[in-house]
């Protein structure tokens, strides 16, 4: 992910990349390899597979995954123009990332609870 849209800065310095696909994670060795690749980051992009998002709660992980998808969509849209991307300077990216972390707990929980309220109302059978 490139620091080219504001929404990507939520994840600045928080993404790890695993460039080799190791098959299904069916044993501890593959799980250990994934954990090592993730390290202290919140997000792990897996080559030829997808993404892993971790957090201190389901609400945090869901919120990050939701906004990560939005940031990726914005970057792909920008890339599809064929024009070069304008990177946000490192200092501004770091500063904006820090600003976005301020209310992360409260925002994540509110977002997750709202999704649950919508599901309870519109699709009450989701929990069965």
Taking the model in full, what pTM does it have? 0.83
* pLDDT surpasses 80 at 104: no
pLDDT (0 to 100) of residue 105: 61
Instruction: Inform me whether the pLDDT recorded for 103 exceeds 80.
Output: no
All structural domains of the chain: 6-127 (3.40.225.10)
Share of the chain above pLDDT 90, in %: 73
DSSP secondary structure string, the chain?
Answer: --S-SGGGGGGTT-EEEE-S------SHHHHHHHHHHHTT-SEEEETTTEEEE--SSHHHHHHHHHHHHHHHHHHHHHHTT-SPP-PPPHHHHHHHHHHHHTTHHHHHHHHHHHHHHHHHHH-GGGG-
Q: What is the pLDDT of residue 25?
A: 79
The pLDDT, as a whole number, for residue 7 is 92
């Amino acid at each position: 992910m490139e620091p080219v849209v504001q929404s990507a800065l939520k994840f600045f310095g928080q993404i790890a990349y695993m460039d080799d696909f190791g098959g299904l994670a069916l044993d501890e060795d593959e799980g250990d390899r994934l954990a090592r690749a993730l390290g202290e980051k919140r997000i792990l992009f897996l080559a030829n597979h997808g993404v892993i998002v971790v957090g201190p709660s389901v609400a945090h992980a869901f919120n990050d995954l939701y906004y990560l998808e939005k940031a990726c969509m914005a970057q792909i849209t920008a890339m599809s123009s064929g024009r070069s991307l304008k990177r946000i300077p490192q200092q501004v990216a770091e500063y904006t990332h820090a600003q976005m972390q301020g209310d992360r707990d409260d925002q994540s929980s509110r977002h997750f609870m709202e999704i649950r309220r919508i599901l309870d109302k519109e699709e009450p059978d989701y929990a069965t």
